[in-house]
Amino acid sequence: MLKITLDKAGKQYNHIWIFSDLSTTLSSGQATAILGANGSGKSTLLQVISSAIMPTDGKILYSLNNVEIKPEKVFRHMAMATPYMELIEDFTLTEMVNFHRRMKPLINNMSTAELIRITQLEANRDKPIKYFSSGMKQRVKLALAILSDTPALLLDEPTSNLDRNATDWFRNLIELYKGDRLLVISSNSIAAEHDFCKNTIRMEDYKSRAANNLRPDK
């Protein structure tokens, strides 16, 4: 079981607190939605959870089967898809999947061909990703993350650039492969992205101290 514990965590940029005093525990088998408007700090919190950035205040702790994991090593246990993470544009789809598989194994030792079939982009397997539409790129990002064999899955606004059919594809994929993973989804309160999550973190609940600038600089 993977567990991530935030203890009075806060993040500050340029003397402005993005969020503060956030305490929660995320565990395997739980799906949590981070909800808030654009600019509310959802992506920042997701990056803190992923260990890409560290909190300015408070603590974040990681453990797997009750054994502590150092923040710099926790990325091995996570798969992530975000609007700001780029694919390697000069790779073909086949090359991109093969490269990803060297970094993170796929669920059930899935083959490159099977993952491409699941994306419904088989006709584009040999096309460089730089020629893909934004919706096609989003399908690739989501498939690579959701089908990675990791105990944690982090998704930031997963239906960005997806039309209705592709959103239905995402919903089906997450239902089939979320398993008992620790799942965190950041969303602008778009129901299709998060309405299956049992737990929620609302960014507005961790804004009062930040808005009032009550904390001294660290």
3-state secondary structure 145-184: HHCECCCEEEEECCCCCCCHHHHHHHHHHHHHHCCCCEEE
User: Between the CA of residue 5 and those of 51, 170, 195, what are the distances in Å?
Assistant: 12, 28, 23
Contact status, residue 19 vs residue 172, Cβ threshold 8 Å: no
User: Between the CA of residue 165 and those of 6, 162, 169, 170, what are the distances in Å?
Assistant: 36, 8, 6, 9
pLDDT at 215: 46
pLDDT at 212: 54
Q: Which residues of the chain have pLDDT under 70?
A: 208-218
- Of 184, 175, 173, the C-alpha closest to 151 is 184
pLDDT at 209: 56
pLDDT at 205: 96
CATH of domain 2-212: 3.40.50.300
Contact status, residue 155 vs residue 142, Cβ threshold 8 Å: yes
pLDDT at 207: 85
Summarised one tens digit per residue, pLDDT across range 89-105 is: 999 999 999 999 999 99
- Of 157, 202, 174, 168, the C-alpha closest to 31 is 174
SS3 assignment, position 213 = coil
Contact status, residue 159 vs residue 170, Cβ threshold 8 Å: yes
Please work out, in degrees rounded to the nearest 5, the angle formed at the alpha carbon of residue 209 by the alpha carbons of 203 and 210. Answer: 65
Contact status, residue 56 vs residue 38, Cβ threshold 8 Å: no
Instruction: State if pTM tops 0.85.
Output: yes
In the block, tokens 């460089």 appear at 128
